């Protein structure tokens, strides 16, 4: 009888051991899944609230889900929005406004109360992924600079006390102007007068695995350096090799301004011996409307910048310095903030108006399920500037000959004959071939003389093939967003299979260790 009781007790102990192990393993796997998700670059949006007709929180969240937006950043810790996000898969970065820095930076209990009220009360039903502490404090309110690190430390310690420090990162967004001599990137360095604050901040970010938050605007770089920085470089437009920006010290080639700004941040950190902090672009974008002093604030440029930005992130090509690391970005911003003060551009950074109608139509179909308002997939293939007529003519001849493009519309007397020049005719032929090939990768190259654009090149009665095709097939492209995620899904599926296999091996080892003892006891 005693032996039977002992056997039952031992079996119970073994069962509890297996249960505890399974729970620990499950927790570890969940953390691994989260770490994997965090390593995949994303595009999010900032949500400003200076909007006269801002949707109610529940309507706002329904709109975010409709647009398939998975990451947002808000400039406070709006309780209504946090409640409305509950149960969704939308990750949110909440913020400590500058006017709350003093209270949080000078009192651990205030910081703990802030975390309890704005994080613990909602997590994990609401997926708070980060806290941005202040906004451009070093440049906008330098007198508050000494408060940033104490605020970061206090908030982080409160997260540790709630066991949320692994899931939620704490950082502070900086203006690009804290970096001097940003081009070439290899010569960039942090403003020396700020290093006494920046270095401890970076050491905190390194220690806690948090990102360096940077607000980076190629629009302002272009506006302040017109004649030096070409517009195409600022807009992520495809460039010929001779138009790429080259860092003379590293010989790295830069095809866009944003990559150069990100690398300038990496070089600046490296100068302070910080090499393990990742850059998170907390704000970037392009205004769609401006006053007479802002002629480049147009819908076409905003569309081009943001569409190409999104493609750039989803391509996961990194930067010239760190091709293995693609920074995630938050577009500034979701809605036009019509209540903002002049200049006019300040009220026109939004992708949408406050009533949720698009301010302009982004062209991002085929690169993922981000933004449902694009159903046109309007991309065209045209001839690049800067090539001689002989080179373009050779490409035109190939397109209309072996390439079997439909070149009937550029014959004399037809609708696209005028203007009668090689570049115009080549653009039409290139687009005809590109559309015929289903916009397949490499079908808009023609030995480097062609480029893809989201701007319709049609003019007058000349309708380019891409526009003719779109009118009949706008619905087809919805399914094209699926394929771009196939590789990612396969990668995660394989990753999960490996984890499952690992679990099986561990259980096998445990059984091998425990089973003989168990059988011996029972016998």
Convert the pLDDT of each residue in 99-114 to its tens digit: 999 999 989 999 999 9
Residues labelled catalytic: 136, 283
What's the length of the chain?
523
Does the pLDDT value for residue 25 go beyond 90?
no
342/209 same-domain check? yes
Both 165 and 219 in a single domain? yes
How confident is the model over 80-101, as a mean pLDDT? 95
Same domain (yes/no): 329, 461: no
Token code pair at residue 130: 């980060």
% of the chain with per-residue pLDDT over 70: 79
Q: Per the domain annotation, does 518 fall within a domain?
A: no
Domain of 424 in residue numbering reads as 378-465
Residue 177 placed within a domain: yes
Q: Looking at the domain assignment, is residue 372 inside a domain?
A: no
Q: Are residues 153 and 247 in the same domain?
A: yes
Work out the average pLDDT over 451-472.
76
Distance of alpha carbon 438 from alpha carbon 36, whole angstroms: 33
Say yes or no: 385 and 331 in one domain. no
Total structural domains within the chain: 2
What global pTM score does this model have? 0.69
What digits encode the pLDDT tens for the residues 214-236?
A: 999 999 999 998 778 889 999 99
- pLDDT band at residue 492, thresholds of 50, 70 and 90? very low
320 and 450 share a domain?
Answer: no
Average pLDDT of span 179-190: 95
Contact 329, 69 (CB under 8 A): no
Is 169 domain-assigned? yes
pLDDT of residue 476: 32
Q: What is the mean pLDDT of residues 224-253?
A: 88
Predicted confidence at residue 491, as pLDDT, reads 32
State the average pLDDT over residues 162-174.
Answer: 95
Interacting residues of 170 by C-beta distance below 8 A, sequence separation 6+: 130, 131, 133, 152, 155, 156, 159, 208, 210
- Average pLDDT over the chain, rounded to an integer: 83
Above 60 in pLDDT, residue 163?
A: yes
- pLDDT at residue 214 in the model: 98
Helix %, strand %, coil % for the chain, to 5? 50, 10, 40
Residue 484 has pLDDT above 50, yes or no: no
Residue 2 in any domain: the answer is: no
519 vs 523: CA distance, rounded Å: 6
- Please report whether residue 367 resides in a domain: no
Mean per-residue pLDDT for 20-42? 60
Here the tokens at position 264 are 């300038």
**Do 433 and 341 contact (CB within 8 A), yes or no?**
no
Question: Do 54 and 112 fall into the same domain?
Answer: yes
Of 71-85, 108-122, 393-407, 477-491, the least confident = 477-491
Of 448, 465, 482, the residue at which a domain comes to its end is 465
Instruction: Give mean pLDDT, residues 52-80.
Output: 93
pLDDT in tens, 265-309: 999 999 999 999 999 999 999 999 999 899 999 998 999 999 999
Of the candidate ranges 174-183, 206-215, 268-277, 507-516, the one whose mean pLDDT is the lowest: 507-516
Separation CA 250–CA 267 (nearest Å): 11
- Same-domain check for residues 304 and 408: no
What is the per-residue pLDDT for 21?
A: 58
Residue 485, token pair as written in the block: 């995620």
Q: In sequence order, what are the residues at sequence separation of 6 or more whose Cβ sits closer than 8 angstroms to the Cβ of residue 245?
A: 183, 184, 233, 253, 254, 255, 260
Are residues 289 and 179 part of one domain?
Answer: yes
Q: In this structure, what CATH number is given to the domain that contains residue 181?
A: 3.20.20.80
Q: How far apart are CA 332 and CA 312, in angstroms?
A: 16
Q: What is the CATH number of the domain that holds 388?
A: 1.20.58.1040
Q: How confident is the model at residue 479 (pLDDT cuts 50, 70, 90)?
A: very low
Average pLDDT, integer, range 502-508: 47
pLDDT at 102: 92
Residue 428, both tokens: 């039409």
Q: Residue 317's pLDDT is what?
A: 87
- Which of 155-159, 212-216, 219-223, 369-373 is predicted least confidently? 369-373
């Amino acid at each position: 009888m005693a032996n039977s009781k002992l056997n039952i007790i031992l079996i119970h102990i073994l069962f509890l051991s297996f249960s505890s192990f399974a729970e620990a393993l499950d927790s570890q796997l969940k953390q691994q899944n989260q770490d994997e998700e965090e390593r995949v670059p994303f595009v999010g949006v900032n949500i400003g609230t200076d909007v006269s007709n801002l949707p109610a929180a529940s309507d706002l969240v329904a709109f975010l889900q409709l647009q398939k937006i998975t990451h947002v950043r808000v400039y406070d810790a709006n309780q209504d929005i946090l409640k409305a996000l509950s149960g969704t898969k939308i990750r949110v970065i909440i913020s400590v406004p500058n006017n709350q820095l003093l209270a949080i930076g000078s009192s651990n209990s205030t910081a703990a109360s802030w975390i309890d009220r704005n994080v613990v009360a909602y997590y994990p039903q609401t997926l708070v992924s980060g806290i941005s502490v202040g906004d451009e404090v070093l440049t906008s309110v330098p007198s508050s600079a000494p408060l940033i690190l104490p605020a970061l430390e206090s908030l982080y310690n409160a997260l540790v006390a709630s066991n949320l420090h692994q899931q939620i990162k704490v950082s502070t967004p900086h203006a690009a102007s804290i970096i001097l001599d940003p081009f070439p990137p290899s010569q960039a360095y942090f403003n020396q007068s700020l290093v006494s604050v920046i270095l401890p901040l970076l050491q905190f970010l390194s220690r806690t695995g948090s990102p360096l938050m940077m607000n980076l605007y190629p629009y302002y770089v272009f506006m302040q350096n017109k004649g030096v920085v070409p517009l195409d470089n600022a807009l992520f437009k495809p460039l010929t090799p001779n138009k790429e920006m080259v860092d003379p010290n590293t010989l790295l080639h830069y095809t866009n301004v944003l990559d150069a700004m990100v690398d300038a941040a990496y070089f600046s950190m490296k100068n302070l011996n910080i090499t393990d902090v990742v850059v998170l672009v907390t704000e970037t974008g392009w205004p769609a409307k401006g006053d007479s002093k802002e002629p480049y604030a147009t819908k076409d440029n905003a569309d081009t910048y943001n569409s190409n930005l999104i493609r750039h992130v989803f391509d996961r090509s990194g930067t010239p310095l760190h091709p293995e690391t693609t920074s995630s970005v938050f577009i500034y911003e979701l809605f036009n903030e019509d209540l903002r003060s002049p200049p006019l551009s300040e009220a026109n950074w939004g992708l949408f108006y406050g009533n949720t109608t698009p301010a302009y139509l982004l062209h991002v179909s085929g690169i993922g399920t981000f933004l449902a308002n694009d159903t046109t997939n309007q991309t065209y293939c045209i001839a690049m500037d800067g090539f001689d007529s002989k080179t373009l003519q050779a490409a035109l001849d190939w397109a209309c000959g072996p390439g079997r493009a439909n070149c009937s519309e550029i014959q004399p007397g037809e609708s696209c004959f005028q203007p009668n020049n090689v570049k115009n005719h080549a653009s039409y032929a290139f687009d005809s071939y590109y559309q015929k090939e289903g916009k397949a990768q490499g079908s808009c190259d023609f030995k480097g003389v062609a480029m893809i654009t989201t701007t319709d090149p049609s003019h007058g009665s000349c309708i380019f093939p891409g526009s003719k095709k779109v009118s009949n097939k706008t619905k087809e492209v919805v399914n094209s967003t699926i394929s771009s995620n196939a590789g990612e899904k396969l990668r995660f599926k394989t990753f999960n299979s490996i984890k499952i296999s690992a679990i099986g091996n561990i259980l096998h080892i445990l059984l091998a260790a425990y089973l003989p003892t168990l059988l011996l006891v029972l016998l």
